[in-house]
A = this chain, B = another copy of it.
């Protein structure tokens, strides 16, 4: 951030009075610009014993596999965001279940919220940002080709819980994979 989005003057980075961390401050119109984490909402679309994954046709992680998920928009709920992303990325309609993973990724200012979901029909196909879609049984998940650590961990926990026959909400922080590149998750 270089300029005030309200008045167009240059901003400075400093700790405002009464605050305890640096903010972009506009001294022309006295606006303080706060930056906050973004929510990534998505789901685990199930069809019998298989899971729908999307192969990314965009960067980052072009060509890698992921669950349908993306940034929540203003004016929508987390459930609406998860269903919209599933429709956009896989032309797929789902019935959402409860939240399954809620992961913090403070390093990149993101919060992942992934719901369980039931795929309503097999009339789905790759969306504009997707190269291909596929329904994977557990033993065929391309683990080495999963795009993001939060998605990999979500899938691991999903299969663990399914084996145990007891699905729970899982929370926690996702740290960088050993040896992983530094690019953003999304």
Contacts and interface: CB of A to CB of B under 8 A. Distances in A.
A160 B30 CA distance: 45
A7 B18 contact: no
A137 interface: no
Given A2-B6, A5-B4, A99-B171, A106 B75 contact: yes
Interface of A: 1-8, 10-11, 18, 21, 24, 33-39, 71-80, 98-99, 102, 104, 106, 109, 111, 113, 128, 169, 171, 173
Given A2-B8, A37-B39, A37-B73, 11 more contacts: A2-B5, A5-B11, A36-B71, A36-B72, A36-B73, A36-B74, A39-B39, A74-B106, A77-B173, A78-B171, A80-B106
